[in-house]
């Protein structure tokens, strides 16, 4: 009885896997040139580039749209580079890129931290129909906003150097002006 249930469970898992694979037959390979970028606080535009390729040996894939999410309301994604630069379709085995795929607009008040999101390409292999909006690829990205490094101005370096030299000189002269003590008899006169 238990062996029959185990067999049925195994068969169900295998069928579910085969069905999920069949549903994603028209997937798209997308590689961001730099998926994780670091910028200095105050940066307002981050550009992402990608290469797209069709792994299918038989189907043409049509790129009909996109969707996106970000984890902050102070980060907005501009998808106009996708519509301007991405190919309308990819023949079997075809590849394009790298090209600008989307931009991130960062609010100037955005503080230091790690901000993430997902850009999805929609379309399909439905004979070029513009009604195909299957999820072909999900592209994760991140932007690490860092605080600007403050470097002291040259006058501060000069003032610090003069102060340290002066302290060293004062210490040396005060040591020379003190009378030496003889270890047994007290101070020398």
| Token couple for 47 | 């550009």
What fold is seen in the domain 27-176?
Immunoglobulin-like (2.60.40)
Nearest to residue 52, comparing CAs of 36, 26, 32, 66? 32
Q: What angle do CA 177, 178, 183 make, to 5 degrees?
A: 145
Q: Phi, psi at residue 45, to the nearest 5°?
A: -135, 130
- The answer to pTM > 0.85 is no
User: 79: closest CA among 98, 53, 99, 101?
Assistant: 101
What pLDDT is stored for residue 22 in this prediction? Answer: 43
Query: pLDDT (tens digit, 9 = 90+) per residue, 109-155?
Result: 999 999 999 999 999 886 656 668 899 999 999 999 999 876 666 67
Identify any residues that bridge with 104 across adjacent strands, giving them in sequence order: 46, 77
Q: How far is CA 31 from CA 55, 59, 98, 159, 177, in A?
A: 13, 20, 9, 51, 73
Sheet holding 95-106, edge to edge: 29-32, 45-53, 95-106, 75-78
Say if residues 37 and 46 touch (Cβ distance below 8 Å): yes
Question: Could you report the per-residue pLDDT of 28-62, keeping only the tens digit for each?
Answer: 999 999 999 999 999 999 999 999 999 999 989 99
- Dihedral (CA of 94, 98, 100, 101) sign: positive
Domains in the chain: boundaries = 27-176
């Amino acid at each position: 009885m238990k062996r029959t249930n185990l067999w049925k469970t195994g068969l169900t898992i295998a069928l579910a896997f085969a069905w999920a694979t069949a549903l994603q037959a028209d997937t798209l390979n997308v590689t961001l040139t730099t998926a994780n970028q670091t910028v200095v606080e105050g940066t307002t535009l981050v550009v992402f580039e990608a290469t797209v390729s069709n792994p299918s040996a038989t189907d043409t894939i049509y790129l009909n749209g996109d969707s996106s999410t970000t984890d902050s309301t102070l980060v907005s994604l501009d998808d106009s580079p996708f519509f301007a630069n991405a190919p309308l379709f990819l023949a079997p085995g075809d590849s394009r890129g790298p090209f600008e795929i989307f931009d991130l607009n960062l609010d100037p008040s955005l503080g230091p931290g790690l901000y993430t999101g997902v850009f999805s390409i929609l379309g399909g292999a439905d004979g070029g129909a513009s009604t195909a909006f299957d999820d072909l690829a999900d592209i994760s990205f991140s932007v690490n906003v860092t605080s600007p490094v403050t470097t002291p101005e040259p006058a501060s370096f000069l003032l610090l150097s003069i102060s340290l030299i002066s302290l060293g000189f004062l210490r040396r002269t005060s040591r020379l002006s003190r009378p030496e003590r003889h270890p047994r008899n007290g101070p020398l006169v």
